[in-house]
Amino acid sequence: MTMPSPTIEPRHFRDVMGHLPTGVVVVAGRRVDTGDPAGLVVGTFQSLSLDPPLVSFSVATTSSSWPKIRPAEYFSASVLADGQNDVCRAMSSKRDDKFAAVDWNESTDGAPQISGSHAWIDCRTVRELEGGDHLVVIAEVRRLEAGGGDPLLFHRGRLGGYRELQF
């Protein structure tokens, strides 16, 4: 027997799920029509499969940036480093000129990689799945490279840093 779905208040959902710390990743690509960079911050980026190498993230169906990135298929995921708070703020805004004050380089596939990041993963979208008010994007990894420093972290609506403890 299927139990009725309980009502979960959106604010409560966000509050409790905000206790799950995440990295801060900029997903960015180039518009095929203008060549302009487009991107957004996601906290849902994760590795999905080793063989074949796949990653995934979820993006709101209301995102204005993902429809600009999608047509090119290729995008780059930049894992932000400690201290890149201003990049996080700019790339999670709704501004049209998100990249105006952000340094970036072009990946081999032509996608924007944020300079000074903690790691970069160059990807090609292979599938999109519906997930409520989000889409789950599945992408193949084409190449990836680690940078230096520590990661930027997001927890309970705030940015912070990584602190190492004994395992």
Nearer to ligand FMN, 52 or 132 (CB): 132
Q: Collapsing DSSP states into helix, strand and coil, what is residue 86?
A: helix
Residue 154 sits in the site that holds ligand FMN (CB under 6 A): yes
Q: Which residue has the tokens 């990894």?
A: 141
DSSP structural state of residue 165: -
Count Cβ atoms below 10 Å from residue 56 Cβ, excluding itself: 17
CA angle 98, 79, 51 (to 5 degrees): 125
CB of 164 to ligand FMN, least distance (A): 22
CB of 53 to ligand FMN, least distance (A): 20
Residue 24 sits in the site that holds ligand FMN (CB under 6 A): yes
Residue 121 sits in the site that holds ligand FMN (CB under 6 A): no
Count Cβ atoms below 10 Å from residue 156 Cβ, excluding itself: 12
Nearer to ligand FMN, 98 or 141 (CB): 98
Residue window 54-93: x/- pattern of binding to ligand FMN, with contact defined by CB under 6 A? ---xxxx--xxxx---------------------x---xx
Backbone angles phi, psi at 68, to 5 degrees: -80, -30
Cβ pair 107, 133 in contact under 8 A: no
Residue 141 sits in the site that holds ligand FMN (CB under 6 A): no
The binding site for ligand FMN (CB under 6 A) comprises: 24, 40-44, 57-60, 63-66, 88, 92-94, 154
